[in-house]
């Protein structure tokens, strides 16, 4: 990427008491990129966002937002980002309009611009008719939508969202996906956390997986898939039942060119190849079609499957969890940036 990173994080660490909750995190997110940080409950996602949005002081390490040092120049960094936090932070005793006006004033938007922008946001989130209602009368999902509306009142260069779609109905969820995609196309840098892996799969250019404060894997979903080759499989459905001799002959032949476990399912008349780490899907498919053509194997169809992000996540977590522990906390107060 040619443009400099708009979020640049180096060795960012947060220690609470004896527990290292974010452990020497390194990452970069570029303009127009959406990065999804995934991790189980308590993995350190909110703590990371709280540090990057200057709410929480890092124990050590540093970060920049749009070129500004987040620890040394927090005010300048703050002028470049907006945040939708995990816990909805609105004043219950103010109306929807008043809450947004309060946020607009914090952002220093001129009053006339603010009014127009607020109406536009309320309209976009289907809340215009409720603008004079108190937040205490809003449902949880409506409050969340209003928080997102608040973050979008000005046009941030960097947008942080901590589980933005929790509790939203499917229509609103799709709406936020569309908005995030269009912001991305406008060059906004988006950093979000989510437990909805289909959301990350749909939106993220890159994902990072954090386990007990450590980033254990990072990349595009295809990069992560490539690491888990063994989860790719090919199924060949036969158009007629194979007798035991044909089955054995085919299994022997398939095992010659397919790197992985080959099996025959009698019930479904199907040969399956579960590729191992040396097996390449495209090479195996080529060899398979050659075999089918040369030996005139009677088939009904071939299907391939790749792991979903959910399978990748579960597999990486399963592989990595035993290796990650917090027994040796990161050196606290080393390289203190302030």
Ligand X SMILES: Nc1ncnc2c1ncn2[C@@H]1O[C@H](COP(=O)(O)OP(=O)(O)OP(=O)(O)O)[C@@H](O)[C@H]1O
Residues that bind ligand X (CB under 6 A): 16, 21, 39, 41-47, 86
User: Minimal distance in Å, beta carbon 336 to ligand X?
Assistant: 19
Minimum CB separation of residue 91 from ligand X in Å reads: 23
Can you tell me which of 46, 53, 143, 165 binds Mg ion, judged by CB under 5 A? 46
For residue 47, the minimal CB distance to ligand X (Å) is 3
- Shortest CB 218 distance to ligand X, Å: 16
Q: How far is the CB of 191 from ligand X (least distance, A)?
A: 13
Rg (CA), the chain: 25
Complete edge-to-edge strand list for the sheet that includes strand 60-65: 19-29, 7-16, 60-65, 68-69
* End-to-end Cα spacing for the chain: 30
Q: Which is nearer to ligand X, 315 or 326 (CB)?
A: 326
User: Closer to Mg ion at the Cβ: 143 or 250?
Assistant: 143
Sign of CA dihedral 247, 251, 252, 253: positive
In the chain, where does DSSP find H-type helix?
45-52, 74-78, 96-107, 111-124, 140-151, 170-185, 197-203, 221-227, 244-257, 281-294, 309-320
x/- letters, 73..112, toward Mg ion (CB under 5 A): -------------x--------------------------
Q: Which CB sits closer to ligand X, 25 or 43?
A: 43
And the tokens for 90?
């609105």
**CA proximity to 162, closest of 66, 47, 61, 62:** 47
- C-beta of 37 vs 100, nearer to Mg ion: 37
Which positions ≥6 away from 229 have C-beta within 8 Å? 275, 276, 277, 278, 279, 280, 281
- Pick 23 or 33: Cβ nearer ligand X: 23
Give min distance, CB of 178 to ligand X, in A: 25
Handedness of CA 238, 239, 240, 245 (dihedral sign): negative
Instruction: Based on the shown chain and the rule CB under 5 A, indicate whether residue 50 belongs to the binding site for Mg ion.
Output: no
- In the list Mg ion, ligand X, none, the entry touching 6 (Cβ below 5 to 8 angstroms by class) is none
Query: Which of Mg ion, ligand X, none does 91 bind, CB closer than 5 to 8 A by kind?
Result: none
Nearer to ligand X, 49 or 297 (CB): 49
Answer whether 209's CB lies under 8 Å from 194's CB. no
- List residues binding Mg ion (CB under 5 A): 45-46, 86
């Amino acid at each position: 990427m040619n443009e400099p990173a708009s979020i640049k994080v180096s060795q960012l660490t947060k220690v609470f008491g004896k527990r290292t909750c974010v452990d020497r995190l390194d990452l970069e997110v570029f303009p127009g990129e959406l990065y999804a940080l995934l991790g189980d409950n308590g993995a350190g996602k909110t703590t990371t966002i709280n540090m990057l949005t200057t709410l929480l002081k890092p124990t050590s390490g540093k970060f920049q937002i749009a070129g500004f040092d987040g620890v040394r120049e927090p005010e300048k960094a703050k002028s470049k980002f907006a945040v939708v936090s995990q816990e909805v932070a609105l004043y219950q005793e103010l109306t929807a309009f008043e809450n947004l006006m309060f946020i607009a004033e914090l952002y220093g938007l001129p009053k006339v611009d603010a009014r127009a922008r607020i109406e536009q946001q309320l309209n976009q989130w289907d809340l215009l008719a409720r603008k004079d209602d108190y937040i205490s009368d809003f449902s949880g999902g409506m409050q969340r939508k209003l928080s997102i509306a608040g973050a979008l009142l000005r046009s941030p260069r960097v947008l942080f969202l901590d589980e933005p779609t929790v509790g939203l109905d499917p229509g609103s969820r799709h709406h936020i996906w569309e908005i995030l995609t269009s912001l991305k196309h406008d060059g906004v840098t988006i950093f979000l956390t989510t437990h909805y892996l289909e959301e990350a799969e749909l939106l993220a250019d890159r994902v990072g997986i954090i386990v007990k404060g450590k980033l254990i894997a990072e990349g595009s979903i295809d990069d992560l898939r490539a690491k888990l080759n063994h989860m790719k499989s090919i199924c060949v459905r036969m158009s007629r039942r194979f007798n035991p001799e044909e089955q054995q002959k085919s299994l022997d032949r398939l095992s010659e060119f397919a790197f992985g476990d080959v099996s025959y399912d009698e019930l479904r008349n199907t040969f399956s190849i579960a590729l191992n780490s040396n097996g390449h899907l495209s090479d195996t498919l080529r060899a398979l079609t050659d075999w089918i053509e040369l030996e005139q194997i009677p088939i009904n169809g071939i299907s391939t499957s790749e792991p979903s992000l959910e399978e990748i996540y579960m597999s990486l977590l399963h592989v990595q969890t035993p290796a990650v522990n917090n027994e040796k906390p990161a050196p606290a107060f080393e390289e203190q940036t302030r």
